[in-house]
Amino acid sequence: MEYPKAVMSLSEMKALGFPPKLLYQAGHAKDAGTFKSGKAGRTSQIYFKTADFEKWLNRIALLQK
C-alpha cells in the first residue's frame, strides 16, 4: 500500500481504513515503527513510520497463516 506521508498520526491511519484495534496493537509493539509524541504518557499522540509499519503488517500476516 502507498501512504501519503512517511510519518502519519493515529487519526490519519484510521482515516485510511485501518481498524483501531490493529493500530493500538501496533502502537504497543516494539517493532512496528511507532512512537509517541512528548512524554510516554497515556495522552501522547501515536505516530507511525509508514515503511516500518508496512513491514510489521507483513510479518503479522505471515504469522497468522
Q: Domain segments of the chain: what residues?
A: 7-64
Full pLDDT tens readout for the chain, 65 residues = 899 999 999 999 999 999 999 999 999 898 999 998 877 667 788 999 999 999 999 998 887 76
Q: What is the pLDDT of residue 40?
A: 63
Give whole-number Cα distances, 11 to 5, 16, 39, 61, in Å: 13, 9, 19, 23
Q: What is the pTM of this model?
A: 0.83
Q: What is the pLDDT of residue 37?
A: 83
